[in-house]
Structure 1
Amino acid sequence: MDTTTADPLVGRLLDGRYRIESRIARGGMATVYLALDVRLDRTVALKVMHRSLAEDPSFVRRFIGEAKSVARLSHPNVVHVFDQGTDNDVVYLSMEYVPGKTLRDILRERGRLPAREALEIMIPVLAALGAAHQAGMVHRDVKPENVLMTDDGRVKVVDFGLARAIEATNQTRTGVMIGTIGYMAPEQVTTGAADVRSDVYAAGIMLFELVTGQQPYDGATPMSVAYRHVHDTVPAPSSLVPDVPPLIDTLVAQATAREPDQRPADATAMLVAAVDAHRMLPRLTTPPAPHAQTQVFNASGATSMPQPAPAHTMIQPRTEVPPSRRRAGFKPNWFLVVLAGVMVVAVGLTGWYFAQPEMVTVPDLVGKNLALAKSSAAAAGFKVQEADGVNSEKMAAGLVLSTEPAATTEVEKGTTITLVPSLGPKRVIVPNTEGMTGDQARAKIADAGLTVGVVKRLANQEVERDKVIRTSPQVGEKVREGAKIDIYVSAGLVMPDVNSMPKDEAAQYLGGLGFQVQVNEVDDDAEPCTVIAQTPKAKSEVDKGAPVMVTVARCQTDFWDWLNGDRDDEARDDQQFALVPAVIGKEVKDAKAELEALGFKVAVRRLGNRGVVQFQRPLPNSERPQGSTVVLWQ
């Protein structure tokens, strides 16, 4: 039965973007599918987590974080992560599709590999791990299954960060070890802790397996294998396969030391040792064909360069003419003359050939750690100089931004490569514009390489009107060059609305704000002793200490006459009154509910302090007809 057709995900469109075409592989934690990204019209590999993991919220949170970290890891020997997402019960990772086989497949087909070929696989693996270590990441599950060999011979490492995400799941809280037992460092077995040196240990075990065709330990149970990792010393590969060179024995011994401090500090350090070992291993004794390509490695990976086939010069022995054959006079032997001419030309061409400079290809160093790029270029025979750094929004500080000459350029061996380091994104400090006018603040922000966003006016009696209160982002923050900075300018005092407020409360409140208050009483039909007009008008911008005129209805009018007007005594007797309670200091919503329960209507006006009643009209304990309006100021 075709397992692909039985898979319910095949044919499904995930997240409205990824159409799953077929199933590629199934592992213990995830299933890998071939899918089409319909939005970008490209083929991708989709790694779908098994349901037991997808249902664990802690795994999903950690998985999303790790996916973001891996997506930032750009290296030619790392399988690129494009996207991460969820679709109902499906948690997936969208990755670069790498057609080819795993290193495990190759080991099954071929068995053990020659030492040089094993190193030529390990060197790009270590370069990928080294880039991850430089970025602060640990793989935690280095093994042949996670190394992909493309159809054109490239090496790619996959599944960075997945083991770390699984550490957050409920499945690991019962003592389950995360990783593959045959490649686990002793500290992973005993404490569960893993760092870059744990990856180095696993890489050493993988090198052992490549040159011997088997892992160093086997046992009846996984725990017996784990026990040997903790208590035994990994044997020399040559003890199983005698023709393994001593250089490989040394490299394996260093990488698989039981104590982490005795191993190479990280994958980059092991990479340098692997490159040195590759250089010192003897080459094949069979002479190469003319114009054969020889693979030469440096600490950043592999570079192909043409190595000339050895030139052979034939030496023709001197021939003496027997005396019996000598004749009188000179008779040149034209065969010898022609042969001598050919030899002269051959010798000349040979000398010219070896006098030509050796040409090499500039390696791709962009995006690599500056120190590692320098050592890689020097190891490849180039002279190196460092240019002044340049800011970049796309390249982190300390990485190579560009080279001169550019990558893949053919140059003479010994040519100087200029490395331009990235200074990372340029950040500008928001200048201090507090107390400036709006125009002054605009000019200072522009001088700093920033852009003025919106300008907002805020009531503020502490800062002089038309002067800057603050900015957003705030002064001293580091922002991207050209970022927008919003300016908040003082509107000074905003004239509060005291209409309908009792005269004494209005005068007291305005005086407390620093205004010079003048009260003018007039005859009016409004409630006696309440404000009926104000100058300046409510919500006007005014300076502290400005004069304010409030006009109030005359206070001497008899309140009951005002309340009842010309109505007769019988109508007044029918009117129902209620006592207005004191609600000053209460929450506005509570005061409003209390007044409405007594039959009053409520109007709320804002003075500045939101949420709490500051003043009320009518005053507390006043009698008012039910249905009349009580005004609250907050």
Structure 2
Amino acid sequence: MDTTLTDPLVGRLLDGRYRVESRIARGGMATVYLALDVRLDRTVAVKVMHRSLAEDPAFVRRFIGEAKSVASLSHPNVVQVFDQGTDGDNVYLSMEYVPGRTLRDVLRERGRLPAREALEVMIPVLAALGAAHQAGLIHRDVKPENVLLTDDGRVKVVDFGLARAVEASNQTRTGVMIGTIGYMSPEQVTSGAADARSDVYAAGIMLFELVTGRQPYEGETPMSVAYRHVHDTVPMPSALLPDCPPLLDTLVAQATARDPANRPADATAMLVAAVEAHRTLPRESGPIPSGPVSPIPTGPVPGLVPAPAVAAGMAGGVVPNPTLIQPRADLLTGPPAGQAPSPAAGRRGFRPNWFLVALAVVMVVAVGVTGWLFSQTDTVEVPALLNKNITLAANEARQQGFVVEIGEAQHDEEVPKDIVLRVDPAPKTEVKPGSKLVLVASAGPKRVNVPNVVGMDESAAKEKLASVGLVPDDVKGQASETVPRGQVIRTSPGVGTPLKENSKVDLIVSKGLVMPDVRGMHRDQADQMLRGAGFNPQFVEQNDSAQPCTVIAQDPRPNAEVDKGAVVNLTLSACSVEWHWPWEGNDQNVTEGSGGVPIPNVMFKDIRAARDELRAAGFKVEIRRGLNRGRVLAQTPPGGQPAPAGTRVTLWH
């Protein structure tokens, strides 16, 4: 039917800004339209809340607050909210228009996905939920209808915070339950409470559906499905698909634990597990079998509902899994479908369900008969429990009548943490019924953190490294003005780095201070340099032909390793002797302007810049290591006096 003729909003200019072009889909809480933002000239999806919600002031207030929170959530896997407003009786959201399909459309078309492909869909969904959880937002209605797959392969999640806004509008109604029954966590069913772990539960149900093509529970009424969420344990995907990887069984089991405390703390924690599972799966997960799927042992499961979903920018009609707004008592205490409620039901006390009582009696008898049959068997075979999650493997062994003991976990470089590494007795061993099995899980790869040995002497540092299982390797010396000679400055790799056992670690040990070469330096410059570096210079003079008051010998020798505060004995040429530079007093005319060149004063300049300046002026340059500071600490001959071109100038840095 043409929605232009039947929908009054089609063709209108909503709030003076959004020209409604067509209706995309209608869901449990809202209708989505394709519209043009005439101010910014862009196509958007406009979600208009149903009239019954828009008339509730509490809903409108909470809806505006939630819209602001979601609009601040910037993530590539979240459908962006542009605007929120009201136009008469219409309360709306303006959102990013996402051409493509919903995940429900994909499931309807393909039935189910290979394990690796299912994780490739779930990982961006969990990333979006994780970003919301970090920002304090809970989705509350995670399901395939709210996951969009764009034409270019991106995955987007829609409808953050909408269920919370609806819940706020129903606070005066006792026991109202908001959400979609097939994905609703036990705590949402029983108390209405929802947190990040409730979204994790729904994500686990959705992962189960992606890999099996169906939801874990079915029922003729919402009551029966809700009851099973509260009282049953979600079956493993391998119960339907024997070839399903054990890691997916583990992921689903952890995410759908009935007790929220046993689930991952939030979607980010589940995302880490999903990424690790994806990393370990083979590149090719194989074609999807064309034959029928095995039934779940714990009960029947529904087929897929072949109907499109409502989502921003999606084509379709009515949602197959609408968000439910219904009193909780209707689901948990209402009569089964087809049975009229008793007029006196509200006045009676507890009445037993005789069908369930009879079923329990039958189950007790069946368990007894099974136990008797086991007792008549001479031996049974230890099941194949290797490479399964330790909790699931223990439960499986107990269900087969074994007594299970969990041994101390052992590190292994290949087997991931919490996966069964060893079974004693080994799988396929013939043992008596009821025998004890010892399951040993992997503790994951063993890693040793590099200990802090900074400040220790070399022998103590090596002993500390060896004590934690690391191998001391090269010892490299490095001059240091702050770390005493012989003590460790740092390690390579650095302190705290996790390494495999027996990995090699280098030690960088302080050589203390390195004695500078001050030979040929004027007394005043040598004294200033050495005292500035923490040395104690002592001078003695002797007659020599060198320039007066210059260092002609030193002890300790240049480049020797010494401690801070060490005494340095310097021998000077006599300071009282009159002395002339070689070019002074001869026939060469070296005065400025008559052939002589003034020596540039390069004290305290960068050593390379000083060298280049002297060479440009026509002088030869000799560079000696002083304190290795990179700038000129002494200069001979001093700057300012004329000298012949080609004269050698010595610089210390």
Give the TM-score taking structure 2 as reference length.
0.47
**Which structure exhibits the higher relative contact order, with contacts defined as CA atoms closer than 8 Å and separated by 6 or more residues?**
2
Give the TM-score taking structure 1 as reference length.
0.48
